[in-house]
Amino acid sequence: MSGGEFFLIGLVLLVFLIVMRFVRIVPQGEEWIVERLGKYSETLLPGLNFLVPFVDSVSQKVVTKDIMLDVPQQEVITKDNAVLVTNAIAFVKVTNPVKAVYGIVDFADGIRNLIMTALRSIIGEMELDQALSSRDQIKARLRESIAEEVLDWGLTVKSVEIQDIKPSPSMQRAMELQASAERERKATVTKAEGDKQSVILQAEGRLESAKRDAEAQITLAAASAQAIKNVMAAASGADMPMLYLLGEKYIKAITQVAASPNAKIVVMPADIQETVRGVLGRFTKSTP
């Protein structure tokens, strides 16, 4: 191969290299930042683009499609000093590649830190129960709090989702102990209420029984009084009816003592014969 042929081949390679540096094809969903001698020059849009060889250079290739950013898990403290573990995921879109490249060193890391800080602030204003049940509210406030911040970086926050929010392991153990103590307290209160109701019912039963016994005594006394009046009226006011009734009760009381299973010895009054004789004697005299 002659020297002319080598020169021709070298010239073709040089032209090819120049063309490669001069022509750029940007794929759809990307925009390229071009710097000329170290200074921003232009933004290459998708399609065929041309650069100035050895002067222009592509410094950054920015993705303009929706970007999914995973926010690391972190511990946050609620208003009532409960520890929660939470993480999130953000969907952002680059709307101004120039600001995204020159406004911040790493916009993805910046958004993650903004979301983590905002989460701590928002949940810190809530109590435990509210934080666990207000996921949509936290999500809305989170998006609002960072939306204006990222505008200076040429970004748009499309959505922020709370992936998980739950008590920390130590907090879960404390909640389980608290729930167990609450169940025991309720059981104790329920038992105490039951005992109280039982005592009240027993007292009411004794009161009702006493009232009925008193009413029965009153009824029996009234019946006895009426019987005595009837006997005295039949005997024309003589003393015999009274003695007869007293003797009847006297004999009935002795009979009950003798019939008692605890009675081993029955002691008869010494004057029982005289009493009976007197009653019979008076009864005989009063009889015509």
- Dump pLDDT digits (tens) for 96-136: 999 999 988 888 999 999 999 999 999 989 888 888 888 88
N-to-C CA span, the chain: 183
48: left (phi over 0), alpha (psi -120 to 50) or beta: beta
Average pLDDT over residues 233-251: 59
Average pLDDT over residues 210-238: 71
- In DSSP terms, 165 is beta-bridged to 86
d(CA 195, CA 201): 10
d(CA 51, CA 41): 10
Q: What's the mean per-residue pLDDT of the chain?
A: 79
Average pLDDT over residues 73-85: 87
Q: What is the pLDDT of residue 15?
A: 75
Q: What is the pLDDT of residues 132-181, one digit of tens each?
A: 888 888 888 888 888 888 888 999 988 888 888 888 776 667 666 776 77
